[in-house]
Amino acid sequence: MASGSISGKSERMGSLDLLRLVAALAVVCFHYFFRASHTPPLLVNGYPELDPFAIYGYMGVSLFFLISGFVIAWSAEDRNWTEFAVARFARLYPGFLVCMTITFIIQFLARDPNLPYDPMTWVANLIVVAPALNKPFMDGVYWSIVFEIIFYGWIAIALFFGVFSRWKLQIVATWLLISVINETVIHSTALHMVFATQYAPFFAAGILAQHMVAKGASIEALVLLGAAFVLSCKYLHIEADWMQENYGASLPFSQLLFANIVVYALFGGALLLRHRIAPSPLVLVLGGLTYPLYLLHQHIGMLGLNALSPTVGRWPALAIVLALVLSASFVVSFYFEKPIRKPLISLLLPALNMMASKLRLHRPA
């Protein structure tokens, strides 16, 4: 494989695995040190002294979307739509199912009135998009998983029609155009959801980064990357307005702009270091913690902090909760997700291929 090529799907980038963990920890800090102390307060003993720093943590989700754009574009190369769809399902759903169920069991036992514990809420969350059934997410972090799934869906459609690799730049340009029209002119909730218009710049920037790493930095790709970055900056006020409305606090635009630049710089730095940080066993372990940590940390962590902090103090409680959540994430990742992934793909892929063949849903490459 030529230097810089990422067409081989088996290649792992240790730098991106570590950056995912950084993004997840940023979100953990946001929830524990900022979100839990604001309206409605979820912690008995919060960490208000960390508010000025923790408020930036929600930008970790933007970093996730950047990484996802890159990794999904990479994994979609040289795959047909059935291979891609099954691989994404096997990567996303089993971990979601076990973490959502763990969260439900703990919330059911705790019976905290601020958190959902109705068994029918668990049933609704089986399809991930529980609000579509008028039930809340079992944990509020699931909203970003919904947008990930929407993104995966559009990539699968592009693969089905055989246009993803050939028309990648045109697809990104069209997506960014839909995004700017909706977020600045139309303000359609339907378009916001169907095309993930608020978060499109981050996914698009990740796709463009993958394109440039694989095929070189053409003028067209650079222009589109610049447009994606500018749009991501322009949309910063949307999240800030939501924060102000829901939490009574937000950051000024200048600080958000700086934070957004840092997010892109971290992503770019990880790509530059992709050949220097090997996917060693330790790096793979740390990277494997990311998804279950993201799914498990918020509600379970807050219940743990509330149970422990009155007796052992805020900081020992934090250390214990983090150790427990990280340990649970390790168990989910390496004793459930990893062992089940390949057998699940081996089971589902032939079935989906057979169904697609019968329905004539296969397209020539």
* Angle value at C-alpha 293, between 292 and 299, nearest 5 degrees: 105
* Residues ≥6 apart with Cβ < 8 Å to 200: 175, 176, 178, 179, 228, 231
pLDDT means per 10 residues, the chain with 365 residues, are 38 90 98 88 90 96 98 93 97 98 98 95 98 97 98 97 95 99 97 98 99 95 98 96 92 97 98 93 96 98 97 97 98 97 96 86 56
pLDDT the model gives residue 26:
98
| pLDDT for position 63 | 98
3-state secondary structure of 156: helix
Residue 245, Cβ density class (10 Å: 0-12 exposed, 13-18 middle, ≥19 buried)? exposed
Report which of 43, 109, 146, 96 is spatially closest to residue 336, judged by C-alpha positions. 96
Res 41: pLDDT:
80
Q: What is the pLDDT of residue 357?
A: 86
Position 1 scores a pLDDT of: 33
